Structure 1
Amino acid sequence: MARLMFLLAGVLLAGCTSLGPAPPVPSPTPAPNTVTAIKLPDGSFPRSPFVAPDGSVWCSETSGEALGRIDQNGAVTHVRIPGNNNSPAGIVHGPDGLIWFAGFQMIGRVSATGTVTGWRSADVGLPNAIAAGQDNAVWYTNEKLPPAISRITASGAIQHRTLQTTDPLIKLPGLTAGPDQALWFTVTSNARGATHAVGRMPVDGSSYRLFPLPAESGPGTIVAGSDDALWFTTGRGIGRMSTTGDFTEHPVPGDARPLDIATGPDGSLWFTTDQSRIGRITTSGRITMHDTTGAKSLTGGLAVSPDGTLWITDGPGNTVWRYSPMR
């Protein structure tokens, strides 16, 4: 009988919910942003982070003449580059399964045992940005005169696809493998009336095409987005270009200047700015900004792990920041 009365009371209470709204259910308190500083030796000035397939994070130690490697437990090791004035920069995973990097008048790679080999000659030129192509080769932008988009194989064979320009101040700061089996790159210059553009070159190197951008747009790093378009930083915001050359630009709030950009595992893109803030932009163009604490400068570069963790190099602080932001 007591059980029957209990069930009847439950039915009556259920029927009385129309008498007024249910009390609000409190939302769970969001977890705070997680920021971890991984210190490198003084004077290393890290830049160009890269997440390797094994989950380790590499960065170039520009002043330290080395590459740093952070394993999944946060332990740091250093791979010394032979010689001096190497100025290591961009890092990629090559078609031979090794780590490749660009430096001053050199292209190098690191063996599985940590030995650095490479190519350092006049034929290498002046590498800047570097990317792995879909043709089992490594490509890099070459700021020699005249500038070129260059290709190097695992055996060291180098070919240059020269760009037609007489601008001595031309820069080629960005390069990526596109969604259309081609290499995409950015072109900028400080010369008056210079061309600012996004370029496309098929992997056979037979031709190239430049898609002009607004004057003084200053394109920088470039990546392939999850929407089969190319995304890149400009002096004023984040640019998007379709593979047919349609261009749109999204201004960044607060007059922040974007510096580096990377694609996240959720399809959005993340970027650093000159205000030591991190930005996230969806492929629909919605931007949110995230403050960071403790970083001196975020000008060194940005990489994103498959789990959504951001790795940001802080050159002046000799630090790599591991950042797990709230969305």
Structure 2
Amino acid sequence: MHPQPRRAQTRQTPAISELATPTADAEPVGITAGPDDALWFTENSANAIGRVTTGGTFTEYSVPTTGAGPAEIVTGPDGALWFTESNVDQIGRITTGGTVTEYALPTSGAYPWGITVGPDGNLWFAEPGAANIGRITTGGTVTEYALPTSSAFPLSITVGSDGNLWFTEVLTGSIGQITTDGTITEYTVPSLFSLPIGITSGPDGNLWFTDAGATQIGQATTAGVFTGYDLTDTLFFPFPWGITTGPDGNLWFTENVGNDIGRITTGGSITEYAIPTTDSSPLDITTGSDGNLWFTENAPSQIGTVTP
């Protein structure tokens, strides 16, 4: 018998598709996988929370406070969705049935942005305007912790493999850590012109973040050791923004100015894929229940999907 020839293996390019939100000029920002297998997202300019099924059916729910500016959103431990209201210093909660409750923050000008679920069963969020990290219980009790650096401008927040909360400090080029009892440590990113934006916990137990200033994707151990990986698209300022762990065990990120969706392996290999709509201004990205990546396109008011 003669051996059969081996077929060459090729890697398929991820397919990117786009869906327009029902409301024009909604300007979606945050997106998360909901407990109902749908994707939930914020409509910053339309002052609404949107829901889209993996089949592409949309529903929109108005936020009660006018001009709230909903920003980031996450599924809470109570089965509701929790979101930040950046313009009015409030945290919002919406059930999967569309009932919205709002909680005022103690600090004026907090400009709440990133939000995540902590290991203690509370919601933790960043207050860039006040240089605070906030915590809110599912009953609505808010506690705020001032950062050691008042000019830090904390933006995004996630839970690390060490059971602490980790966040980006945009204006000081640092990554911060806060324990659930409020102890804060700050680590300076060694990359030149560092401007950390988004952050997530990777499958390798490290923190991964987008570094818009250094044009890199950064990796940080929970001990504060950093590694930076240069983006392929370095001819201009791609401004990487959101980042998440994908279903394939890689990190996926958006390039807000570069108009790409990027993928980086835990070994640092980067691939970038162009979004069909020009100047779409992609922001946040998450994994849906269908195993695809879902992301917000702020400028054209669209929701994008990537099949990895």
Give 1 or 2: higher helix fraction.
Answer: 1
User: Partner of 1:211 in structure 2?
Assistant: 187
**1:148-159 map, 5 Å:** 148-159=132-143
Inter-partner Cα distance in structure 1 for 2:4 and 2:284: 47
Q: Which residue of 1 aligns with 2:111?
A: 126
C-alpha displacement at 1:121, in angstroms?
Answer: 4.7
Instruction: Select the residue among 113, 117, 125 that pairs with 2:101.
Output: 117
Q: Is the 8 A contact 1:262 1:302 kept in 2?
A: yes
Distance 1:34 1:294 in 2: 13
For 1:282, the aligned partner's letter is T
Aligned position for 1:302:
285
State whether structure 2 residue 83 is matched by structure 1 residue 101: yes
Structure 1 counterpart of 2:74:
92
Aligned 8 A contact 1:295 1:314 in 2: no
CA distance in 1, matches of 2:299, 2:150: 35
Decide whether the 8 Å contact of 1:295 with 1:317 is kept in 2.
no
SS of 1:68 mapped into structure 2: strand
Structure 1 residue aligned with 2:51:
69
Establish whether residue 319 from structure 1 lines up as the match of residue 302 from structure 2: yes
- Structure number with bigger Rg: 1
- Report what 1:200 is aligned to: 177
Q: Distance in 2 between matches of 1:239 and 1:121?
A: 31
Residues 1:158 and 1:291: Cα distance change in structure 2 (over 3 Å): same
Q: Residue type matched to 2:19 in 1? A: I
Q: What is the deviation of 1:26?
A: 5.1
**1:165 and 1:23, CA in 2 relative to 1: closer, same or farther beyond 3 A?**
closer
The aligned runs of 1:18-37 (5 Å cut-off) are 24=5, 27=8, 33-37=14-18
CA deviation map 1:264-284 (0-9, x unaligned)? 122210011121111111111
Find the residue that maps to 1:90 and give its secondary structure.
Answer: strand
Give the aligned partner of residue 232 of structure 2: 253
Deviations 1:114-152 (A, max 9, x none): 11111135447331111110101001111243x211101
3-state secondary structure, aligned to 1:254? coil
The alpha-carbon deviation at position 29 of structure 1 amounts to: 7.8
Deviation of 1:25 (Å): 5.3
The whole-number CA distance in structure 1 between the counterparts of 2:128 and 2:10 is: 50
Matching residue of 2:209: 232
Residue 176 of structure 1 aligns with an amino acid whose one-letter code is: T
1:290-321 per-position Cα deviation (integer Å, ceiling 9, x unaligned): 22223531432211225431112111111111
Cα distance in 1 for residues equivalent to 2:254 and 2:129: 28
Identity among equivalent positions (%) equals 33
- 1:78 aligns with 60
Count of matched residue pairs: 297
Q: Deviations over 1:203-228 (max 9, x none)?
A: 111x1111111352001110000011
CA contact (8 A) 2:281 2:299 kept: no
C-alpha separation between the residues in 1 aligned to 2:233 and 2:13?
A: 23
Which of these residues, 242, 250, 264, is aligned with residue 281 of structure 1? 264
Matched to 2:304, the amino acid is W
**Contact in 1 for aligned 2:31/2:74 (Cα 8 Å):** no
Deviation at 1:63, TM superposition (A): 0.7
Give the AA of the match of 1:39: A
Question: Which AA in structure 2 matches 1:161?
Answer: Y
Distance change in 2, residues 1:70/1:258 (3 Å): same
Partners in 1 of 2:41 and 2:19 — Cα distance? 12
User: Normalization by structure 1: what TM-score?
Assistant: 0.85
Distance 1:176 1:121 in 2: 20
User: AA paired with 2:186?
Assistant: L
Go from structure 1 to structure 2 and tell me whether the alpha carbon gap of 1:261 and 1:112 turns closer, same or farther (over 3 Å shift). Answer: closer
Supply the distance in 2 between the matched residues of 1:151 and 1:303 (Cα, whole angstroms): 22
1:231-264, CA deviations, whole angstroms, 9 ceiling, x for partnerless residues?
A: 0000220000001111000000121332211101
Any unmatched runs of 5+ in structure 2?
Answer: none
Specify whether residues 316 and 28 from structure 1 end up closer, same or farther in structure 2 by C-alpha distance, changes over 3 A only. same
Offset at residue 55 of structure 1 (A): 1.6
* SS state at 2:305 partner: strand
44 and 136 in structure 1: CA distance in 2 versus 1, 3 angstrom threshold: same
- In the alignment, residue 223 of structure 1 is paired with which amino acid? T
Describe the SS at the equivalent of 1:128. coil
1:196–1:35: structure 2 CA closer, same or farther, 3 Å change rule? closer
TM-score, normalisation: structure 2: 0.90
Structure 1: distance between partners of 2:145 and 2:42: 26
- Please say if residues 198 and 241 of structure 2, whose CA atoms lie closer than 8 Å, have aligned partners that are also in contact: yes
